[in-house]
Structure 1
Amino acid sequence: MLKSIANVLKKVRENTPLVQCITNYVTINDCANILLCFGASPAMCESKYEVEEFVNLISALYINLGTLTAEQEEASIIAVKKAKELNKPVVLDPVACGAISRKMDIARKLLQYGNISVIKGNIGEIKSLAGFSGKVRGVDSIDDGEDAIEACISLANQYNTVVAATGKRDIITDGKRTCLIYNGTPILTLITGAGCMVGALTAATSICNDRFTSTAASILAMNLAGEMTQNSMEKVLPGTFKVKLFDFIYNLTEDDILNGGKIECL
Structure 2
Amino acid sequence: MLNKIIEVLNDVREKTPLVQAITNYVTINDCANILLCFGASPAMCEAKEEVEEFVNLISALYINIGTLTKEQEEASVLAVKKAAQIGKPVVLDPVACGAISRKKEIAEKLLAYGKISVVKGNIGEIKSLAGYVGKVRGVDSVDDGEGAVEACKSLAKSFNTVVAATGKTDIITDGKTTYLIDNGTPMLTLVTGAGCMVGALAAATAGVCEDKLVAGTAAIMAMGLAGEIAANSMEKVLPGSFRVKLLDSIYGMTKEDLLKGGKIRCL
Tell me the TM-score normalised to structure 1 length.
0.99
Aligned to 1:254: 255
SS at match of 1:92: strand
- Alignment check: 8 A CA contact 1:7 1:254 kept: no
Aligned to 1:186: 186
Tell me the TM-score normalised to structure 2 length.
0.99
Aligned to 1:116: 116
CA shift digits 1:66-114 (9 cap, x unpaired) = 0000000000000000000010000000000010000011001100111
SS at match of 1:102: helix
How far is the alpha carbon of 1:152 from its aligned partner? 0.2
Count of matched residue positions in the alignment of Structure 1 and Structure 2 = 266
Aligned to 1:129: 129
Aligned to 1:214: 215
Matches for 1:193-232 after TM superposition, within 5 Å: 193-207=193-207, 208-232=209-233
SS at match of 1:85: helix
Letter in 2 for 1:159: F
How far is the alpha carbon of 1:164 from its aligned partner? 0.4
How far is the alpha carbon of 1:137 from its aligned partner? 0.6
Letter in 1 for 2:115: N
- Alignment check: 8 A CA contact 1:65 1:94 kept: yes
For structure 1, the 5+ residue unaligned runs are none
Aligned to 2:94: 94
SS at match of 1:264: strand
Structure 1's consecutive aligned runs of 4 or more residues displaced over 2 angstroms after TM superposition are none
Letter in 1 for 2:42: P
CA shift digits 1:182-208 (9 cap, x unpaired) = 000000000100000000000000020
CA distance in structure 2 between the partners assigned to 1:152 and 1:94 by the alignment: 14
SS at match of 2:143: coil
1:165 to 2:161 alignment: no
Letter in 2 for 1:150: E
For structure 2, the 5+ residue unaligned runs are none
- Alignment check: 8 A CA contact 1:136 1:142 kept: yes
